[in-house]
Structure 1
Amino acid sequence: MPNYAESHRDLDSYISARVPVIGMRTIEQQRALRLVREVATHPRRSSMPFWIYTRATGLRDLRTNAPLQEDRSLTGAMEYAASQFTARPNATLVLVDPDDLEGDTPLTRHIAEVARLAGNNSGSIILLTDTPVWSGLQRLGMSLQLDLPDADEMYGVLAGFLTDHQGIIPIAWSEDDARRAAETLLGVTEAEAVNLMATVAAKGSVDKDDVPALAQSKDRIFSDLTGLVKVQLKDADYTVGGLSNLRDWLRRKNQLMQADLRHTEIRPPRGVLLVGVPGCGKSLSAKAIAAEWKLPLYRLDMGAIHGKYLGESEGRFREALETADRVAPCVLWIDEIEKGLAGRDDGTGVPQRIIGQFLFWLQESRSRAFVVATANDVRSLPPELLRKGRFDELFFVDLPDAQDRKEIIQLYYRRYVKAEPDPDQLARLVDLSEGFAGSDIEGALHDVGAEVYLGGGAEALRPSFVMDTFANTIPLSRNNPEQIEEIRAWGRERAVAAGRTAGATTQGAPGPARRIVFMED
């Protein structure tokens, strides 16, 4: 993508070549105007007239800002330029954000006629706009796009801001901190970056903790996000029981997410694909990653992506991925990805094109958007999605083993009962929960918590009630043992274990449902 220096070079060459129409597309009007002024004020162009038109100020001299006429209308500015282009060589008119440039309209045809007059006498018209320009007008010249600041330019913006405030407020940032902040602020405009830094400085200091906090502050800039749904995290989303291998792997990836990789060939972590048994913590892991890494969490809603018109689904999906690049660093959660990418035999070809877009983005994007994709029906996943190099790793989330179940029981016991389980009782609950998914354990202890609330506190809770609740919980591994065993057999052979062990036989998982009542001691 063209950065400021490249756009400066291109604009300089277009003006030197006296191209009749120069279309500059950007959403940063002030930054683009600064670029034009830098090119216009070069000493070798001191004798060349430059005029600028805006709706607010009318037609003025670009260098001195002196008004050229009382008529502030665009029509008046065009008439003035037309008369000057025929009389003076090497003149340049800058039109800032004129309306109706996209189609064949009277305005675009008028601009084209004036551009032809300019071209006959080595004149130019520069169009600063955030919309496409009608092809009939654009074919008269050249175009360039001024993209958002890259990491180096953003670092220069931050360094200038910190220099301006040096000695006024305490600043604890090192150069590495400023570099990390610049990476964090990729995707925002220069003005937005200055506003965010001003908000940080307004509290009276610039601290080390402000670097990761910028990701949350940046998140507030974006409201209406195409295809993305902002997920508000709760305290309960900060902790995941079990999945020790996955958690250790994620800690290492977090170091890369925060590292300065500019002078290496290493790209930021791309993401992880979690497949496995339903209810074992795949979706919760996405929330826990965002909470632990202190990054905003967005859910890519595949249902909202699909449209009924030709090309609509692909366009929405492309916009969603572009938005994810812009809001990065973030965690991008795609829940049950197999449903959004299913339909390989669909005659429309839409699923295949969406898969192609997604794979290309996974391969080529260098933004710090970390994807957490989850899948239950692994048989529906396209094979090319599982190839090494798409995601950083493919993890299989199995039913928790005894040690993981102990950790999960302790986690939810504290949350719902507001107490620590008795060691003997904990050991019996671990045995009773053989074959349970994490959601089964949570459901059982939620019922226990409700009984504590209704019964007057944890002190009045009967131990036998807890045992009874666990014994009478029928997990999915017993309700649908064939499907669960098929999922587990796939994961044992094709993925890395997310927990300490993988593929251990679930003793007692298959079999008839049973009801056990523990009599009170």
Structure 2
Amino acid sequence: MSNKTEFKNSLLLMFRARIPFISIRSIERARVLEIIQELAEEINIPMYVHSLSHGMTDIKTRKTVNDDRSVVGGIDFAVQNITQRQNITFVFNEVSDIEDDNIVSRHIYDCVVQAIERGGSICIISTKSVWSQLQRLGMTLTLYPPNEDEMLEIVKDCVLPYKNAFPIEWDEKDFKMVATILANMSKIEAENVLATQMAKGSLTKEDIKLLAQEKDKLFSDISGLEKVKIDSNMLSIGGLSGLQRWLENQKTLLTADLKTRKLRPPRGVLLVGVPGCGKSLSAKFIAANWNLPLYRLDFAAIQGMYVGQSENRLKEAFESADNASPCILWIDEIEKGLASNANDSSGVTSRMIGQFLFWLQESTEKVFVVATANDVTKLPPELLRKGRFDELFFVDLPEEKEREDIINLYIKKNLLPKPSVDTFEKLVSLSSGFAGSDLEGAVRDIAIQAVINGDEFITDKLYESCFQNIVPLSKTSPERIEAIRNWGKERALPASGLAWNNSFNDSTSTRRSIII
């Protein structure tokens, strides 16, 4: 059942029950009025709607019955008619300043009191909350943006009338995919996006990707989230066989129809491991590979100085992510935002953890979370419980074959002349214990010299010198790295999909992710 159907049925019962005050929360006033118009045809109750542009009009005949376009004038007209007639309903389309105790909210309050005595009903459409004393006289309804079922109807209503006018390559599966992409947009937003694509005189399967991009533009600056631009041409990957196989299955689930089996979409993955080994770049790779927009949740931007401000901002960020679905939500170094803190006397962190876990558990939108962590000891235990994330993977230091791949990839990326075979083998040996970021730094130093002095300056000796100048974290903090790896062995799956290696040497062929 679509959200519109549920909303319509509930509102119909309220009208028939003569609820004296009904507040409707929605950003789509036109869509709400469309539903009320349908209900007015079904029930034999006088119904009028007030707007700032037309004043008070009969919703059935659409004739103006009062020219006063002000909200106060509309309320006065409603009070006058409610005292004279029974079972009359007034809908106010544009009312502001009703969140607090003020003249407007008290004026409406007095009108509702009159409606209680005469069986009348006052209905307000707003995007804001209502003064508590006024709200207690009635009931509240929320009309959310169209879900996939309703969006499928909207898409077909927009497209199918033109099937004889120009070529349309979409089949039923494509229509469902488009509905999934456009779900949670407002009806008018979806119609505008579709009309833009149809204006070129055809609809091809390639246009489906463009629809995703158009939706992405609408949500490129949303509360609490940072839009991350991705250049798929700059992302290369090697290894990661275990994580890659798992992600392919999740990609299938993200686009499949799971309703018949009562399954929810995949929730996401937590990547832990050694700093600088590509966990953050994994989020970009997943978004590029799945052709989905990537949003980064920045806890630093969410933190507020007032009581409840941080929690409200986090809630708004999650609501924004739900509206932007399907998408990838990247939470980098999650332990910095949700770290357990015994000194948190205000309880802000605890409430944010609870809010995050609640959303992670209850949201049914197609938002795939990619969370990364370096210091997993700071994470609250409840976040690591089975079922929070779909899986927990450990990204380890690169082994010999992986270092070969990474060095080659960076040399190719920076357009550098290759070292001799013997020197290359020596570089692989020198870089034992290097993270991916260490290898990138070594090759980058060589690229800088190439820019300054030209390619002829690049020699085998320079390669060796730049690699010898790098002191990796595994050498400066071996105890920390070993502790991280020991934690991963006990609690996480290796991203390589193969057996664990027990040390920093290259005696085994363990594979891990390489993302450049």
- What interval of TM-score do these two structures reach, taking the shorter chain for normalisation? over 0.9
1:107 alignment counterpart: 104
In 2 relative to 1, CA 71–362 (structure 1 residues): closer, same or farther, beyond 3 Å?
closer
Q: Report the alpha carbon displacement of residue 103 of structure 1 after superposing the two structures with TM.
A: 1.5
Distance 1:376 1:118 in 2: 61
Helix, strand or coil at the partner of 2:122? strand
- Structure 1 residues 22 and 503: alpha-carbon distance in aligned structure 2, compared to 1, 3 A threshold: same
Aligned to 1:519: none
* 1:200-254 residue CA offsets vs partner (Å, 9 max, x unmatched): 2233322223334433221211244222111122356522344332223222221
Once the two structures are superposed, the pairs formed by residues 231-242 of structure 1 within 5 Å of their partners are 231-235=228-232, 237-242=234-239
CA contact 1:238–1:292 (8 Å) conserved in 2: no
Q: Distance in 2 between matches of 1:380 and 1:76?
A: 59
Find 2:446's aligned residue among 445, 448, 451: 448
- Structure 1 unaligned blocks of 5 or more: 510-521
Q: In the TM superposition, what whole-angstrom CA distance separates every residue of 1:27-75 from its partner, at most 9, and x where no partner exists?
A: 1000000011000112x41xx3221110011111111221113333233
CA distance in 1, matches of 2:232, 2:147: 35
1:118 match: 115
Matches within 5 A, 1:387-406: 387-406=385-404
Relative to structure 1, is the Cα distance of residues 427 and 256 closer, same or farther in structure 2, using a 3 angstrom cutoff?
farther
| Structure 2 equivalent of residue 377 of structure 1 | 375
Within a 5 Å distance, the mapping from 1:58-137 to structure 2 comes to: 58-137=55-134
Q: In structure 2, the residue corresponding to 1:374 is in which secondary structure?
A: strand
**What does the per-residue CA deviation read over 1:287-322, in whole Å, with 9 as the maximum and x for residues that have no partner?**
111111111111111112222222222222222112
Paired residue for 2:255?
Answer: 258
Letter matched to residue 384 of structure 2: L
- The answer on whether the counterparts of 2:82 and 2:115 sit within 8 Å (CA) in structure 1 is yes
TM-score (norm 2): 0.92
Q: CA deviation at 1:132?
A: 1.2
User: Per the alignment, do residues 420 and 170 of structure 1 end up closer, same or farther by CA in structure 2, a change over 3 Å counting?
Assistant: farther
Provide the rounded CA distance (Å) in 2 between the counterparts of 1:437 and 1:425. Answer: 20
Q: Would the alpha carbon gap of residues 202 and 426 (structure 1) be closer, same or farther in structure 2, given more than 3 Å must change?
A: farther
Partner SS, residue 41 of structure 1: helix
Matched, 1:291 2:288: yes
Alignment equivalent of 1:485, drawn from 456, 459, 482: 482
Q: What does 1:95-494 align with in structure 2 at a 5 Å threshold?
A: 95-235=92-232, 237-345=234-342, 346-418=344-416, 424-457=422-455, 461-494=458-491
Q: CA deviation at 1:129?
A: 1.2
What residue is the counterpart of 2:36 in the other structure?
36
Q: Deviations over 1:448-470 (max 9, x none)?
A: 2222223333x663233223322
Bigger relative contact order, structure 1 or 2, given CA contacts below 8 A and separation 6+?
A: 2
Give the Cα–Cα distance (whole angstroms) in 2 for the partners of residues 501 and 444 of structure 1.
29
Percent identity, please: 47
Using the alignment, how far apart are the partners of 1:135 and 1:248 within structure 2? 52
2:287 maps to a residue whose letter is: A
The residue identity in structure 1 corresponding to 2:463 is V
Contact 1:410-1:421 at 8 Å conserved across structures: no
* 3-state SS, counterpart of residue 466 of structure 1: helix
Give the equivalent residue in structure 2 for 1:515: none
Tell me if structure 1 keeps the 8 A contact 2:18–2:87.
yes
Give the aligned residue type for 1:446: R
Is 1:19 aligned with 2:19?
Answer: yes
Q: Which moved more, 1:175-184 or 1:387-396?
A: 175-184
Say if 2:75 is the partner of 1:49: no
CA distance in 2, matches of 1:78, 1:353: 41
Provide, for residues 79-137 of structure 1, a one-character-per-residue CA deviation record: whole Å limited to 9, x for no partner: 32222222222221111121211122222222222223233222211111111122222
More displaced stretch, 63-72 vs 235-244: 235-244
Q: SS at 1:299's partner residue?
A: strand
Separation (CA, whole Å) in 2 of partners of 1:294 and 1:423:
38
How far apart in 1 are the matches of 2:217 and 2:264? 26
Aligned counterparts of 1:2 and 1:75: Cα–Cα separation in 2: 36
Deviation of the 1:501 alpha carbon = 5.0
CA contact (8 A) 1:401 1:501 kept: no
Q: Which amino acid aligns with 2:61?
A: T
Aligned partners of 1:423 and 1:259: how far apart in 2? 48
1:440 shift after superposition? 0.8
Count of residue pairs the alignment pairs up:
505
Distance in 2 between residues matched to 1:74 and 1:174, nearest whole Å: 48
User: What secondary structure sits across from 1:324 in the alignment?
Assistant: helix
Aligned residue identity for 2:100: G
- Say which is worse superposed, 55-64 or 301-310, in terms of deviation: 301-310
- Give 3-state SS (helix, strand or coil) of 2:66's partner: coil
Separation in 2, partners of 1:487, 1:236: 32
RMSD over aligned Cα, in angstroms? 2.2
Change (3 A) 1:38 1:211: same
Whether the 8 Å CA contact 1:97–1:130 is kept in 2: the answer is: no
Task: Work out the CA distance in 2 between the residues paired with 1:78 and 1:315.
Answer: 33
Distance in 1 between residues matched to 2:431 and 2:24, nearest whole Å: 64
Contact 1:240 1:285 in 2 (8 A): no
- Is the 1:398–1:502 contact (alpha carbons within 8 Å) kept by the matching residues of 2? no
**Conservation of the 8 A alpha-carbon contact between 2:83 and 2:118:** yes
Q: 1:237 to 1:263 in 2, by over 3 A?
A: farther
Distance 1:450 1:231 in 2: 27
User: Using a 3 Å threshold, how does the CA distance of structure 1 residues 369 and 489 change in structure 2: closer, same or farther?
Assistant: same
What SS does the aligned partner of 2:392 have? Answer: strand
Separation (CA, whole Å) in 2 of partners of 1:220 and 1:104: 38
Contact 1:28–1:189 (8 Å) recurs in 2: yes
> C-alpha distance in 2, partners of 1:237/1:344?
38
Q: How far did residue 438 of structure 1 move?
A: 0.5
Moved more, 70-79 or 499-508: 499-508
C-alpha distance in 2 between matches for 1:127 and 1:167: 42
Q: 1:266: how far off?
A: 2.5
Cα deviation digits, residues 153-202 of structure 1 (max 9, x gap) = 01110111121221223222121221122122222111111111122223
Flag the 1:383–1:35 CA change in 2: closer, same or farther, 3 A.
same
